[in-house]
Structures are given as C-alpha cells and as structure tokens.
C-alpha cells in the first residue's frame, strides 16, 4: 500500500511538474494553429517571431532600462503584430492561393532572416549567461505550492494561466464573433469572401497580426525557461509545438493546448519513472537521459507517418482558384542548349582562373574557406537531387552529413581505419538511413515530408548525437571529435593544397553523378512526378522507387560531404556545422540560388563560405579600388547580413522556383533573343499574345 | 436613368491568355439580360469582370455610373452587384448558418442577422433542416439554394448568375428560376449566363451572343432563339 501511495504521489507530482512546460508548448501550438488556420501558412518562422519579441523585451528591459509593462507593450503589443502585418503585406498577400510549398520555403527563409535582421537593427547580441526574465517581477523567485507536491514559480503560473485564457479567448473568437467567421472564410477563399462584400485583405492582415501577437506573447512567456536567448532554441521549440498542434490535427485550438500540456506531462512523468526502471534494467542506461527531449519529435514523426487523417485534413480548395492565370512554365524545362554550353565554358574558365589564383597566391585561411566552399557544394548537391529533381523539401540534410562525419570519426578513433574508407562507409550509412527514412515518407505530401524530416533532424540532434557510438559520448566533451587527415601513398593530405585537390575531385565526381541522375531514368521519372503525380501514376510510373532512390543518393552525397568537411576541419564540429538550424540555411541558400542545377549548388557553396570573406569584409571593393585603405567605412559588414539576404531571397521562390542564378541567366538569354529578333524585321508579333483559339486548346 | 452595369470597351484575360476583346455592354435597372455562347467563349470572364474578380486590361467598368475599374470585388458588392459564381459558390468549410451569417452580418449589421436568418430558412425549408451541416456536404441543388438565399434577403441592384442551373434536376431549375423571377419583380437587374437556353430566353428582355471573346449579336429573345441554337451548334461542331 505504501508503495502504491508513493506511486500515485509521484504520478501527480510528475503531472504538476509537466504542466508549466506543457503550457508553454501549448501556447506556441495555439499560435501556430492560428496562423495555419487563418492564412494556410505552415509558419515555421513562428519561432523566429517569438524570438524577436523575447529578445526585444529583454533588450528594452535590461539594456534600455524600460519598465516591464513598457517593454511588454513594445515587444508584444506593438512590434509582434507589426511584423505579422509586414509579412502579410509584403510577402504572403502576393502568393497565389494553394502554393503551400512556396509558403513553406519562404517561412524557412524567414526563420533564418528574421532573427538576424532583428539583431542587426537593434544591436542585440545573444550573450551566454544573461538570463531572460519573465513578465512579473521576481518571477523565478516566488513560488506557490497549492498541493504540497510541486512548487510552481510565478513565471510558470503566468505561462499556464495565459495559455489557458488564450486558447479559450481564441476559440470564442472563432465561434462567436463576426471577425472570427470572416477569418475562417478567408482561409477557404479570399475571393469568395470578397464577393460577400468583405475586405479580404483587411481580414487576413488582422489574422496575421493576431497570430503574430501570439508568437510574441509566447516568446516573452517562454524566455525565462532558457539560460540564454538564442534563435535555434526558439526554432526547436516550434518543432515541439508542431507536435502538439498535430495532436489537434492542426486545426483545433483547444486540442492544440491539450496536446502541449499532454507532451509536457508525458515528458515529466517519463523523467520521474525512467530512472527507477533503469536502476533495475541496466541496459537502458544510455538512452535514459536522451529519451525525454526526444518525446515530441518521436510523437510528431509518428503522427505524420502513421496518422493519415492528419494529412487529409488539408485546407478546402478555393472554388475561385480558376480566376488565377496558369503558372508560368518552369524555366528549367525550357532551357536552351546554348545556355548550357555557355554555362559550361564559363564555369571551366572560371575554375581554371580561380584555381590558379588560389594555388599560387592563397594563404592558409583563404585555402581553408575555398576548400570549405568546394566541400559544401558537394553537400549541396544532395539538396539539388532531393529538392531540385524530386521536389521534396528535406530539413534533415544536416543529420545525413553528420552521419558521414561521425562515421569517419568513430572508425578512425576506434579501429584506426583510413578516413577515406570511413568517408565512403559513412556516405553509405547516410544513404541507407535516408532511404529507410524515405520509405514511410514518400507517399506524404511535400509539406509533410518537410515536417517529418524536421522531426527527424530534431530527434537526431537531441538523441542520436549524444549516443557514445555516434557522437563519442562523454569522451568527446573533453577531447572533441577529432578526425585525422589521410595519406594516400606518397600524397600527404595534411597539406591543405593537396586536400583542396581531393575536395575538387570529389565534387567533380559528385557533380557528374548528379547530372547523370538528372538525364537518366530516375531523373526523368522524378521530373514527370514533379509535373503531375496523378498523371504519372496513371501511366504506370511508380513514385516510391524513384523517390526512395533520390533520397538514397541525396543521403550518400550529404554523408560524403559531411565526412569530407570533418576531415578538412580535423573535427566533426557537429554543433556549428550540422545542427538542424545551421542546416536550415543550406536549404535556403540552395533554393535561393538554384536547386535544379549543379552550378546552383556550386554558387551556394561559394556563397556560404566565401561571401563573408570577399564581399562583407570589403575585400572585393578593396580589389576594385586597388587599395585596402580606400575600402569605405561601412565595411566590414556583419556576416549576419548573409542570412538576411538569402533568407529574404526565398521570397522569389513563389515566382521562380528555379532560383536566382537560372532565372537571371534566362532573362539575359531572353533579352539577347529579343534583340536579335528585333533585327529580324520580318518576325511576327511575339508569342506572348496568344489568341483565344490557342487558349481554348 | 443610369445603367446598373456598364462595360465599356473591355479587354481582359488571364496572364498571357486573352479571353475578351473590346466588349461593351450595359444593363439597365430592372432589366434581365442573357449572355449566351458556346463553351469557352468568355461568358464567365464577362461575369468576373462585371463583379471585379478579373480586372480588365483595357476599358472601363461602371456600376451605376461610378467607375470601379480595377477595384476589389467587395466594392462591387457594396455598390449593389451580387455574383453567384460558376460551380460551388458557398464556403465548404462553414456550415449553412455560418454561410448565411457571413453575408447577412455585412449587409444588415449585427441586429439584422437573426431576422434575416429566419426569413431565409422560411423561404428554403430544405436549408433549415441542415443549418448546422457543413455547406461542402450539401447536394449541388442545396448549395445553389444556399447561394440564392444569401442574395434574396436584401435584393441587390444587379445579380450576375453564372450557370445557376448546371447539373440540377429540372424541378430545382424551375424553382431557381421562380426565385429569379421574384427578384426581378422586386427591381433587381439580372445578367444571366446560361446553357439552358430556353429558361433564359423565357425570362430575359434582351440577349447578348458572345463568340471568341466578342459580342457578335444583340437583340430580343424572340429573334434570338434560332440564331443562338445555330451559332452554338456551328461552333460546337467546328470546335
Ligand atoms: N484561369 C484561367 N487561366 C487561363 N485561361 C483561362 C482561365 N480561365 C478561363 N480561361 C480561358 O478563357 C477563355 C474564356 O473562359 P470562360 O470561362 O470565360 O468561358 P465560358 O464562356 O464561361 O465557358 P463555359 O461555357 O465552358 O463556362 C477560355 O478559353 C478559357 O480557357
Ligand atoms: Mg463559364
């Protein structure tokens, strides 16, 4: 009996302990659902918005010495909705309805751009040890213990109360008010709402302001849970919130709150009881610490892959979608052979010149960034295959690359194996993991693939990396994950120039393989699927095989590149190279510059590692002015501008999914063609002016 | 008296596609006009231009003399133009009552909603029985009734009805036309796009015949019958 009594007591204590973090998850989940319901946008940038408000609140309070209330009004009541309004007005209003993939990509870009833009504007620096404080004075110091089992801090109680009130207020708004009804109507069809005499743009602006207000509110309430404010933490929190929202099928506000609370409680209870089970079952020990942070990700992954109803609860299609003109044909399909030839010639010349300069003139640090650019380009080819060819957004390429890196580290560290063999083994493991992961995913819609891979990346980050046979466990904390440079016969790759040659060779082979895939059967199948899945199925094309193959190839390339990167840096450096938030920027870069071509990946690699050195530090201007002294005073620019720049270029994805580079080249080409056509006096009017007869056909 | 609707030299299309070429038409208050033509000639596009869904590339759109060229659809609605669109024209994700509330609230204010709901359900008992059902789950005929119910409570100055009878049982078509008749008696002008030529001709004062995005003939229904049938068949066989 005594045992049972203490069991119940522990259970209750675990539940109470889980409520405050659960409320926090629930609060973000509510905001997320609100955004999804009212704008149809899977707003991954929600975490970034929450971060901005939390950081602004902190800055105003602690740096500018404002009162709590004033800082709250600024960060949550003014700035948070304003960000939502700006996003709606400048970006999302202009996207055609139904472009869910473009919206997702843009939200990913914003997740990267917003925190950096904010930090640049306000001059905020996330500094370790400056602990954020809550809304109420002394929130972390005053405790209440109503049941004598668990004492809630004042901050925790505030979050709990606000979450419950918020969910109730929103549910009431949707059910009982005119604006709530209008918001629901606009989600389905802005045009039909207009035909009811309602200003749809006002309504959706209001929706954005409201959901962004919730993002800000959640951010400020959550901040005290962190030691230091940092954008990646807030991003991870959104993944947790999506898990909670998924429990409510992404549309139910009360259930999203319940889902959040449930997750919090589940984690706390596992935390209470697992150690006791482990005492008796020793073999569970390695996973004990890692299970709890992984719960939301496992739940999310399981929901997405195993619960078909979640996916079928898609938005209603807009009956007035027929008013939109058809989307322009993607440029990559209509590329002229001339353009390809010019590109190749240009690339070869560029590589020869750049290669010579680097070899003859570069010092160690330049060699480092150039080599890094080449290796990253190899990794980015994995995104080319998956996103460019297969049209799938994967947010776990960082995990695949890390698998390559960790394999090299483990094989070299434990068995003294050659790192080059290790790299190939690592790539194969990454390919296998990727293919396995793909099996349950390939039938999901694209947005769901993105979410599931995001859950996997978070899971990898929270659990897998910490396992001793992956990330090295406790020893790696002291020694790092060191990786030696290889020696091939007489060729010692400890020399950076020699290693650069190897990196270029690897990239060349990878690029060749990728172009072969593009023109081969798999590539053409994928292109057909990208065009129309239904049509492709009806002529007997199976999406599963081609997509799993694409995932496997992509995993292989990422693993290979990850291994090379670790060898180059002589260390895996997981947190700075491969963490989910870092890898988010990879996708942003590749998609902005061009996900459909090898050169797009190369440009992305170059931008990642060289842009800062060449442009932001003013070196390029220095070259042009032929003097370092004449570099204008605005340089060096913060490297954060890079994230802002590319994060914001994803906005162009809706119009030009082929990327900036390809689009720019195509425009140049069209202009050239027009010029030569103008010279040709006999030409008919341009093909743009289609007659209605053609339109019917 | 100024016309309720005037299109003046309107050309319109969808991106690179041009669907209408220099279309001019006018609908007088209380007048019923039928817009006829074969499939794909641009009837729906005329309707969309007249309610602001498609902005014309050239030309002018006026409602009761006020220039609304390029204005958003809600301004057309507020000027008295109602548009029952082709296909589904109700919110599938809202229930029957919410669909009605949405437009009543805007048109009549918070006070007027309850009365208008009663009136609508009285007129369409079939809808009253389904007031809590999602509009997306209604039958095609019930959906049309719902969109009519939305319009009928406060008679608009002009109702644009695009293929209201498409795919409906004859009895329901008759009922819908009876409703249109009533509206007209209350002074609402009608612009009717129809494939059921006979019904349209019976109701209307004037017929416009559209082909390849231009109006090729205009006249009284009596003269139209043979012509319309001939044109549509010719076109249908050729195309
Ligand atoms: N969203 C769109 N994008 C491109 N072209 C369109 C679009 N909507 C209509 N069209 C084209 O415009 C022309 C006119 O279309 P419209 O819908 O006005 O014809 P309609 O006379 O209403 O035909 P139906 O009798 O079949 O309803 C057609 O050739 C059609 O293909
Ligand atoms: Mg039509």
Residue A226: CB atoms within 10 A of its CB come to: 15
pLDDT in tens, A243-284: 998 888 887 888 888 999 999 999 888 888 888 877 777 666
Rounded to whole angstroms, the Cα distance separating B199 from B132 reads: 33
pLDDT in tens, B20-55: 999 999 999 999 999 988 888 999 999 999 999 999
Residue of B nearest to A693 (CA): B212
Q: Is the pLDDT score of A677 beyond 70?
A: yes
pLDDT in tens, A34-63: 888 777 788 889 999 999 999 999 999 888
pLDDT of residue A483: 82
pLDDT in tens, B94-149: 999 999 999 898 888 888 899 999 989 998 888 999 989 999 899 888 898 898 88
Least confident of A647-656, B31-40, B161-170: A647-656
User: Which is higher by pLDDT, A509 or A352?
Assistant: A509
Mapping DSSP onto H, E and C, the string for chain B reads: CCCCEEEEEEEEEECCEEEEEEEEEEECCCCEEEEECCCCCCHHHHHHHHCCCCCCCEEEEEECCEECCCCCHHHHHHCCEEEECCCCCCCCCCEHHHHHHHHHHHHHHHHHHHHHHHHHHHHCHHHHCCCCCEHHHCCHHHHHHHHHHHHHCCCCCEEEEECCCCCCCHHHHHHHHHHHHHHHHCCCEEEEECCCHHHHHHHCCEEEEEECCEEEEEECHHHHHHHHHHHHHHHHHHC
Query: Which atom of ligand 1 is nearest to B86's Cα?
Result: 27
Architecture of domain A343-670: Orthogonal Bundle (1.10)
Rounded to whole angstroms, the Cα distance separating B34 from A141 reads: 76
pLDDT in tens, A370-403: 899 999 999 999 999 998 888 888 999 999 999 9
Domain with CATH 1.10.3470 in chain A: 2-277, 343-670
| Ligand 2 centroid – CA B86 distance (Å) | 6
Residue B41 near ligand 1, beta carbon < 6 Å: yes
Residue B75: CB atoms within 10 A of its CB come to: 17
Closest Cβ–Cβ partner in B16, B82, B106 for A198: B106
Name the band, by pLDDT with cuts 50, 70 and 90, for residue B233.
low
- Is 1.10.3470 the CATH number for A2-277? yes
Q: Is the pLDDT score of A414 beyond 90?
A: no
Mean pLDDT for A640-660 is: 80
Name the band, by pLDDT with cuts 50, 70 and 90, for residue B2.
confident
A199/B74 CB distance under 8 A: yes
Q: Is the pLDDT score of A683 beyond 70?
A: no
User: Which is higher by pLDDT, B212 or A126?
Assistant: B212
pLDDT in tens, A5-40: 788 888 888 888 888 889 888 888 988 888 887 777
Residue B14 near ligand 1, beta carbon < 6 Å: yes
Among residues A111, A94, A89, the alpha carbon closest in space to that of A652 is found at A94
Burial class (CB in 10 A: 0-12, 13-18, 19+), A344: exposed
Per CB-CB distance under 8 Å, the chain A contacts of B239 are 696
Q: Residues 28 to 47 of B: which have CB under 8 A from any A CB?
A: 40, 42
Q: Whose CA is nearest to atom 26 of ligand 1?
A: B39
Q: Is the pTM of this model over 0.90?
A: no
User: Can you list the pairs that A326-335 forms with residues at least 24 positions away whose Cβ atoms lie under 8 Å?
Assistant: A326/B14, A326/B15, A326/B17, A327/A96, A328/B15, A330/A657, A330/A658, A331/A656, A331/A658, A331/A662, A331/A663, A331/A666, A332/A596, A332/A597, A332/A658, A332/A662, A333/A527, A335/A662, A335/A666
Domain boundaries, chain B: 5-89+156-235
| Residue given tokens 């500018």 in the structure block | A64
For the record, the structure tokens of A286 come out as 């390695």
CATH topology of domain B5-89+156-235: Rossmann fold (3.40.50)
Residue B237 near ligand 1, beta carbon < 6 Å: no
pLDDT of residue A384: 93
pLDDT in tens, A580-638: 888 888 998 898 888 888 888 988 888 888 877 777 777 777 777 777 777 777 777 78
Per CB-CB distance under 8 Å, the chain A contacts of B106 are 196-198
Q: Which ligand has the minimum distance to the alpha carbon of residue B42?
A: 1
Among residues B201, B139, B193, the alpha carbon closest in space to that of B171 is found at B139
């Amino acid at each position: 009996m005594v045992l049972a009594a203490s069991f119940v007591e522990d259970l209750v204590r675990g539940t109470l302990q889980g409520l405050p973090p659960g409320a926090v998850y629930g609060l973000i989940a509510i905001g997320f659902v609100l955004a999804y319901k009212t704008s149809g946008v899977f707003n991954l940038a929600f975490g970034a918005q929450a971060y901005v408000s939390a950081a602004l609140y902190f800055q105003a309070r602690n740096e500018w010495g404002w009162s709590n209330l004033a800082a709250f009004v600024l960060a949550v009541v003014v700035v948070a909705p304003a960000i939502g309004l700006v996003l709606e007005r400048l970006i999302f209003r202009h996207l055609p309805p139904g472009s869910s993939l473009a919206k997702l990509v843009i939200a990913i870009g914003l997740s990267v751009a917003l925190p950096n833009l904010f930090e640049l504007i306000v001059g905020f620096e996330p500094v370790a040890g400056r602990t954020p404080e809550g809304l109420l004075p002394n929130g972390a110091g005053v405790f209440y213990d109503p049941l004598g089992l668990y004492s809630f801090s004042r901050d925790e109680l505030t979050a709990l109360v606000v979450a419950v009130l918020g969910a109730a207020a929103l549910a009431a708004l949707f059910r009982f008010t005119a604006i709530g009804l209008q918001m629901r109507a606009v989600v389905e069809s802005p045009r039909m709402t207009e035909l009811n005499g309602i200003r749809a743009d006002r309504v959706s602006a209001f929706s954005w302001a409201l959901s962004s207000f919730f993002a800000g509110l959640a951010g400020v309430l959550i901040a005290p849970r962190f030691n230091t404010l940092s954008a990646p933490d807030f991003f991870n929190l959104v993944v947790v919130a999506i898990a909670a929202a998924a429990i409510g099928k992404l549309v139910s506000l009360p259930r999203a709150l319940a889902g959040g609370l449930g997750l919090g409680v589940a984690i706390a209870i596992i935390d209470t009881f697992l150690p006791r089970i482990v005492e008796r079952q020793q073999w569970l020990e390695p996973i004990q610490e890692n299970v709890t942070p992984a719960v939301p990700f496992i739940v999310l992954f399981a929901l997405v892959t195993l619960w078909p109803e979640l996916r079928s609860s898609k938005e209603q299609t807009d009956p007035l979608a027929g008013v939109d003109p058809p989307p322009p044909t993607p440029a990559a399909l209509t590329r002229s052979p001339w353009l390809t030839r010019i590109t190749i010639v240009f690339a070869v010349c560029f590589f020869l010149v750049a290669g010579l300069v680097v070899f003859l003139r570069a010092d160690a640090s330049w060699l480092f960034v150039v080599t890094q650019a080449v290796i990253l380009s190899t990794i980015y080819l994995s995104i080319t295959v998956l996103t460019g060819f297969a049209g799938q957004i994967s947010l776990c390429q960082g995990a695949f690359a890390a698998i390559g890196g960790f394999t090299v580290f483990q094989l070299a560290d434990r068995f003294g194996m050659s790192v080059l063999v290790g790299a190939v083994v690592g790539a194969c493991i990454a390919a296998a993991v990727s293919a396995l992961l793909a099996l349950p995913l390939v039938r999901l819609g694209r947005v769901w693939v993105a979410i599931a891979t995001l859950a996997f990346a978070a899971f990898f980050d929270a659990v897998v990396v910490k396992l001793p046979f992956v990330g090295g466990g406790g020893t790696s904390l002291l020694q790092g994950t060191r990786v030696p440079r290889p020696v091939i016969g007489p060729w010692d790759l400890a020399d950076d120039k020699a290693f650069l040659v190897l990196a270029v060779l690897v990239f060349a082979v990878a690029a060749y393989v990728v172009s072969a895939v593009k023109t081969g059967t798999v590539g053409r199948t994928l292109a057909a699927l990208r065009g129309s899945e239904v049509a492709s199925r009806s002529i007997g094309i199976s999406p599963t095989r081609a997509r799993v193959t694409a995932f496997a190839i992509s995993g292989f390339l990422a693993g290979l590149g990850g291994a090379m990167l670790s060898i180059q840096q002589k260390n895996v450096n997981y947190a700075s190279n491969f963490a989910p938030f870092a890898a988010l920027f990879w996708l942003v870069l590749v998609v902005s510059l061009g996900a459909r071509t090898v050169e797009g990946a190369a440009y992305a690699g170059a931008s990642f590692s060289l842009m800062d050195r060449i442009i932001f530090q003013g070196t390029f201007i220095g070259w042009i002015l032929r003097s370092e002294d004449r570099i204008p005073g605005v340089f060096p620019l913060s490297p954060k501008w890079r994230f802002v720049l590319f994060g914001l270029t994803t906005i162009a994805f809706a119009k030009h999914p082929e990327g900036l580079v390809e689009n720019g080249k195509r425009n140049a080409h069209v202009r050239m063609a027009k010029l030569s056509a103008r010279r040709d006096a006999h030409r008919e009017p341009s093909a743009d002016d289609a007659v209605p007869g053609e339109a019917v056909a | 008296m100024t016309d309720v609707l005037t299109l003046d030299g309107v050309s319109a299309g969808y991106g690179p596609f041009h669907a209408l070429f220099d279309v001019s038409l006018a609908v007088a208050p209380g007048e019923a006009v039928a817009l006829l033509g074969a499939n794909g000639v641009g009837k729906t596009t005329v309707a969309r231009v007249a309610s602001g869904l498609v902005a014309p590339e050239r030309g002018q759109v006026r409602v009761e003399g006020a220039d609304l060229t390029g204005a958003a659809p809600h301004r057309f609605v507020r000027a008295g133009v109602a548009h029952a669109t082709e296909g589904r024209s109700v919110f599938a994700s809202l229930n029957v009552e919410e669909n009605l509330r949405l437009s009543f609230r805007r048109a009549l204010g918070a006070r007027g909603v309850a009365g208008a709901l009663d009136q609508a359900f009285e007129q369409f008992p079939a809808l009253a029985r389904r007031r809590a059902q999602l509009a997306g789950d209604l039958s095609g005929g019930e959906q049309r009734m719902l969109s009519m119910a939305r319009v009928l409570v406060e008679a608009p100055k002009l109702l644009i009805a695009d293929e209201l009878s498409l795919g409906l049982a004859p009895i329901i078509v008759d009922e819908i036309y009876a409703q249109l008749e009533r509206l007209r008696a209350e002074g609402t002008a009608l612009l009717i796009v129809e494939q059921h030529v006979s019904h349209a001709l019976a109701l209307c004062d004037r017929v416009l015949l559209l082909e390849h995005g231009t109006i090729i003939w205009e006249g009284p229904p009596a003269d139209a019958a043979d012509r319309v049938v001939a044109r549509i068949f010719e076109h249908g066989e050729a195309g």
